[in-house]
Amino acid sequence: MNKRTVIIMILVLALVVGIFAFINKDMVKDKEEIHENAEILISDSGKEVKLTFRDIKDLREKDFVANLKSSGKPAKEHKYTGVPLKSLFERADIDIKDNNQLSVKAIDGYTVALGVDEVLENDNIYLAYKIDGKPLGNKEDGGSGPYQIIIRKDQFSQRWCKHAVEIEIND
């Protein structure tokens, strides 16, 4: 192999690596955009407020640990990232303290009821969007997000509503 061939091979390799890095960067950006389009609808007797991922991330983001009990597996501790659920109502200018109950609805129809008293507790109910530092992912890719309700005190995780899309204040 002469010197010229070696130089050409190195240039071709560098070009290939560069193209792959470029494509990968675009793919990562697309994923982030899909994730950032995740919205939550809050409804309170006729009033509807839509919060975007940006709105939610601008609230009091916090890392916390909680024990996930997945079906057929022993409970496992995970680090979640999210915001206290009650901060969403503050952001939407909805005062829930004179209400009793609200329900969280998921894209698969799963609905959980939450008492206003427990929602107002500190460090118990969160709207999470990351698990162990990674986005929760959506239903299609086997994840539990883009948003999941985490109730630290619910040891069996039944009310940890995955794929949450709407919160309705009932009464």
Q: Are strands 125-131 and 76-84 parallel, antiparallel or unpaired?
A: antiparallel
Q: Does 110 bind ligand MTE (CB under 6 A)?
A: yes
Site residues, Mo ion (CB under 5 A): 71
Contact between 116 and ligand MTE (CB under 6 A)? no
The conformation of residue 146, written as its DSSP 8-state character, comes to: S
Instruction: Identify the CA nearest to 167 among candidates 95, 90, 111, 98.
Output: 111
Between CA 89 and CA 92 the distance in angstroms is 5
Question: Which is nearer to ligand MTE, 101 or 111 (by Cβ)?
Answer: 111
- Contact between 160 and ligand MTE by CB under 6 A: the answer reads yes
φ/ψ (deg, to 5) at 29: -65, -45
Stretch that binds ligand MTE, among 4-12, 77-85, 121-129, 153-161 (CB under 6 A): 153-161
Closer of 44 and 154 to Mo ion (Cβ)? 154
We find the least distance from the C-beta atom of residue 84 to ligand MTE, in angstroms, to be: 19
> What are the DSSP calls for 47-70, one per residue?
EEEEEEHHHHHTS--EEEEEEE--
Q: Hey, which residues between 29 and 88 contact ligand MTE (CB under 6 A)?
A: 69-71
**By the criterion CB under 6 A, which residues form the site for ligand MTE?**
69-71, 106, 108, 110, 157-158, 160-163
